[in-house]
Amino acid sequence: MGHNRASSPVFRFRSYLTLIRLGIVAIPCAFLGLVADVPRLLAAHGVPVKTGIDVYEAMNSEPFAGKRVGLITNQTGVDSEGRRTIDIFAGRKDLKLVALFSPEHGISGSKDEAKIADAVEEKTGVPIFSLYGDTRRPTDDMLKGIDLLVFDMQDAGVRFYTYVTTMAYCMEAAAKNHIEFVVMDRPDPLGGVVIEGPMLDADRTSFTAYFPMPVRYGMTLGELARMFNAENHIGADLRVIKLQGWHRGEEYAQTALKWIPPSPNLRTLNESFLYPGIEIVQAGGVSVGRGTGTPFEVVGAPWIRGNELALELNRRKIPGVSFAATQFTPNDGVFRGQGCHGVKITVTDRSGLRSVRVGLEIADALHRTYPDQFQLGRIIALLGSQPTIAKLEHGSPPREIIASWGNDLDKFAKMREKYLLYH
């Protein structure tokens, strides 16, 4: 597959664009508009990246023939033409879709509630078992009569995003009940190269932290499933239906696939890139824009002086972002209905953006300026690293803290290498 992809027009075009970005290849000014419109150009070749469900549909034979299938999915489980995986399976004559399982935010991805109830899928009449209700794992009763569990949904590429844990819990239940488990793979929206953030403390695993790994891990769900299965000794009968045409250096915008928000507050790719760092600081007692039109693009509180915070953050010259003073009133989350002062974050370069660093710099600035209001210790909830909190509390500069993660990240990168499926 590597040889075929390297010889394809799309791959050569992408490689040429990479050389342009690095300044190795010169390009006439008249052509710069084409370079800026990479997704449209790639789409002109047909969808260059095929997700797992696309690959499945193109198979000459039915790999799940005779199986009674349970499908773990939501609104992101669609093929490149927008057809739902639910409908694709329900329309097959040689298998039977008998159950659906939904994650946080429900089968439609629109609910932002503490618990979501079971339901029935309107179009197909198939029962939906919520895995974000009274139970977070499929029970033995839910799995009765199922031969195969299929996972197909888009994640966020972030350790504390709960879809990752839902997949792992379903793998554990499948192994216990001797049910085959299949992952329909999809790209990591943040790309598959950058690894960032502290490693999770070993004693802090939870529903928002299934496995000791960094905040940004740079892996697809299929790769994560392989790693979880081996490193956590799950023992699932696992199969990954791989992506075609994706390579690790691509973020989602370069795939020409349509971005479907995986949850209500990840509406754009810029918000998705900011999310790993900005979401972390919310626990310290600030709004991160939930309940506004720009979640994760603003940070504020009634007690913040926005001009001063913007000046301080811009002084730090954080790559990939700039800051401006702003005011907003969130209708959800922290300070709901209250006027907040703070900063608007503009992404200036997604490739250079290190979102966990952005979050760390904001937390450090708030801690130094508002030590009585900003509750630094509470960001451990998603940051997951007590040594990092301790360094912040003692006044270590964020750059030094980030450098201190190096050895752990190198070890993780070496460990994860044997589970990678793409180059």
Per-residue pLDDT tens for 317-348?
999 999 999 999 999 999 999 999 999 999 99
CATH code of the domain containing 278: 3.90.1150.140
DSSP helix/strand/coil, 397: coil
Q: What span, in angstroms and rounded, lies between the C-alpha atoms of 76 and 86? A: 11
Asked, for residue 396, whether it belongs to a domain, the answer is no
Per-residue pLDDT tens for 273-304?
999 999 999 999 999 999 999 999 999 999 99
Asked, for residue 174, whether it belongs to a domain, the answer is yes
pLDDT band with cut points at 50, 70 and 90 for residue 14: low
The DSSP secondary structure of 101-162, one letter per residue, reads EE-TTTTTT----S----EE-TTT--EEEESSSS-SS--TTTTTT-SEEEEE----SBTT-H
- Regarding whether 215 and 93 lie in a shared domain, the answer is yes
- Regarding whether 161 and 233 lie in a shared domain, the answer is yes
Whether 32 has a pLDDT exceeding 70, the answer reads: no
Whether 79 has a pLDDT exceeding 50, the answer reads: yes
- Regarding whether 189 and 87 lie in a shared domain, the answer is yes
Asked, for residue 20, whether it belongs to a domain, the answer is yes
Stretch 350-372: mean pLDDT, rounded?
97
Whether 97 has a pLDDT exceeding 80, the answer reads: yes
- Average pLDDT over the chain reads 91
Question: In 3D, which of 398, 410, 414 has the Cα closest to residue 364?
Answer: 398
Asked, for residue 166, whether it belongs to a domain, the answer is yes
Q: In what order do the strands lie in the sheet with 180-184?
A: 119-120, 127-130, 96-102, 68-73, 148-152, 180-184, 238-241
- Regarding whether 72 and 27 lie in a shared domain, the answer is no
Q: How many domains would you assign to the chain?
A: 3
Residues 6+ apart with CB under 8 A from 267: 261, 295
pLDDT band with cut points at 50, 70 and 90 for residue 48: confident
- Regarding whether 95 and 130 lie in a shared domain, the answer is yes
- Regarding whether 162 and 310 lie in a shared domain, the answer is no
Asked, for residue 392, whether it belongs to a domain, the answer is no
- Regarding whether 232 and 88 lie in a shared domain, the answer is yes
Asked, for residue 400, whether it belongs to a domain, the answer is no
Could you tell me whether strands 321-328 and 340-347 are parallel, antiparallel, or unpaired per DSSP bridges? antiparallel
Asked, for residue 404, whether it belongs to a domain, the answer is no
The DSSP secondary structure of 324-381, one letter per residue, reads EEEEE--SSSTTTTS-EEEEEEEES-TTT--HHHHHHHHHHHHHHH-TTTS-GGGGHH
Q: What span, in angstroms and rounded, lies between the C-alpha atoms of 20 and 175? A: 48
For residue 394, how far is the Cα from the chain centroid? 31
Per-residue pLDDT tens for 106-161?
999 999 889 999 999 999 999 999 999 989 999 999 999 999 999 999 999 999 99
Q: What span, in angstroms and rounded, lies between the C-alpha atoms of 70 and 68? A: 7
Whether 412 has a pLDDT exceeding 50, the answer reads: yes
Per-residue pLDDT tens for 380-400?
999 999 999 999 999 999 999
Domain that holds residue 18: 2-43
Per-residue pLDDT tens for 220-248?
999 999 999 999 999 999 999 999 999 99
Share of the chain above pLDDT 90, in %: 87
Whether 6 has a pLDDT exceeding 60, the answer reads: no
- Regarding whether 211 and 97 lie in a shared domain, the answer is yes
More confident residue, 374 or 21: 374
pLDDT band with cut points at 50, 70 and 90 for residue 38: very low
Per-residue pLDDT tens for 53-75?
999 999 999 999 999 999 999 99
Whether 200 has a pLDDT exceeding 50, the answer reads: yes
Question: In 3D, which of 286, 296, 214 has the Cα closest to residue 263?
Answer: 296
CATH code of the domain containing 148: 3.40.50.12170
Asked, for residue 407, whether it belongs to a domain, the answer is no
pLDDT of res. 403: 98
DSSP helix/strand/coil, 386: helix
- Regarding whether 61 and 165 lie in a shared domain, the answer is yes
- Regarding whether 303 and 164 lie in a shared domain, the answer is no
Q: What span, in angstroms and rounded, lies between the C-alpha atoms of 196 and 355? A: 8
- Regarding whether 124 and 30 lie in a shared domain, the answer is no
pLDDT band with cut points at 50, 70 and 90 for residue 211: very high
- Regarding whether 355 and 253 lie in a shared domain, the answer is no
| Structure-token pair, residue 364 | 């450090």
